[in-house]
Copies of this chain bind each other. A is one copy, B any other.
């Protein structure tokens, strides 16, 4: 569990892309974020109160979130100095960098001295085990993708928000670093040992006996040749009652591989349902979430219409239109008696 409230560390960032983790956390959990920290030269702001570490501690901040991506994921000397200042101010530190906080001798020593927590978000727990696929109780939805980075986290969070607005119990289950900061817990499934992918997903969404939902953030795509193993293990371990397919319609090719076309949405949906039946024979598709940020309103509507015609499922853009229809269908199509 990562303690809030957060101070979002922006370093000396000069573009939004390098602070996209911080932007995601501030967008989905504004109530967790009470300040931002900028180094010299930083031109990005989240319009939060600017604080140094002492001020942040005085304001009640619990954790400094390193919401920056560095080339190579390595900590530079200025960042290390700032981390040490934060620790000395009594703040926990959460990092999405590849280089670990906990194995940096000075950082680890100072943290132990001050009794603060270090969270290496890319480094999963070391006591994971293999999955079993044994059926468990509870209602679960997993987002799946036609590709990487097509809005699976946003779609999952939008469904959680929609369910909460209807007073339905629902928990976002995070599988990537931004998601983990938003949920204040989770497992970076792409970083677990390969044997433990489905086991990590089972740990992440354990059996539940209330009538609430676990809404699980998907990763990768069954059709991405780099990451499909992660996607399949996550699908098997999540044992979802329903999947929501996420798609970016303007994508010219699979992310990072210029030679590879995207799958057809029908093939993608069918492959996920077929594979998902291994651990949940009753799995259904509940809807399609599309990132239409590059389309004008008319193009957007045509995109929705054509996908709805093709797949006979509600299609929405979580950001532009919300996910009311997808959520309606998700609730309708999953047999509620299962949780009873």
A interface residues with partner B (beta carbon < 8 Å):
130-134, 189-195, 197-199, 222-223, 225-234, 236-237, 256-257, 259-260, 271, 274-275, 278-279
List of B residues within 8 angstroms of A134 by Cβ: 257, 259
Check A226–B133 contact: CB distance below 8 A: yes
List of B residues within 8 angstroms of A131 by Cβ: 225-226
List of B residues within 8 angstroms of A192 by Cβ: 193-194
Check A232–B226 contact: CB distance below 8 A: no
Shortest distance between the CB of A239 and any CB in chain B (Å): 9
A195 to B274, CA, bound (A): 22
Which of B194, B226, B231, B257 is the one whose CB lies under 8 Å from A190? B194
A131 to B199, CA, bound (A): 23
List of B residues within 8 angstroms of A222 by Cβ: 232, 275
A225 to B198, CA, bound (A): 7
Check A226–B132 contact: CB distance below 8 A: yes
Check B189–A132 contact: CB distance below 8 A: no
The answer to whether A133 and B278 touch (CB under 8 A), given A191-B195, A195-B190, is no
Check A194–B198 contact: CB distance below 8 A: no
Check A236–B230 contact: CB distance below 8 A: no
Check A230–B195 contact: CB distance below 8 A: yes
A227 to B259, CA, bound (A): 29
A242 to B113, CA, bound (A): 58
